[in-house]
Amino acid sequence: MSIAQIRARLGMTRADFANAVGVSQPTVSRWEAGLMFPSYHVAKRIAALVDGVSVDDLVRAA
């Protein structure tokens, strides 16, 4: 599942999602564009937001 899909599943704006995982909104935009990938620690925070999503799922979607 991609970052954009996770964000949409949660019904969050990029700014809301960024605040929830402790990064800036432009960082979320870069992730969604495939220009960057979250660090392992941030990926763990993202995975914790959604039941059934693991860090491995995020890596596979990148």
Per-10-residue mean pLDDT of the chain, 62 residues long, equals: 91 97 97 94 92 86 74
What is the DSSP secondary-structure string of 13-57? -HHHHHHHHTS-HHHHHHHHHTS----HHHHHHHHHHSTT--HHH
Here the CATH number for the domain that contains residue 43 is: 1.10.260.40
Predicted confidence at residue 59, as pLDDT, reads 82
- Taking the chain, what is the end-to-end CA distance rounded to the nearest angstrom? 9
Q: Which domain holds residue 11?
A: 3-61
Predicted confidence at residue 7, as pLDDT, reads 94
Predicted confidence at residue 51, as pLDDT, reads 85
Phi, psi values for residue 58, rounded to 5°: -65, -40
- The total number of structural domains that make up the chain: 1
Predicted confidence at residue 52, as pLDDT, reads 86
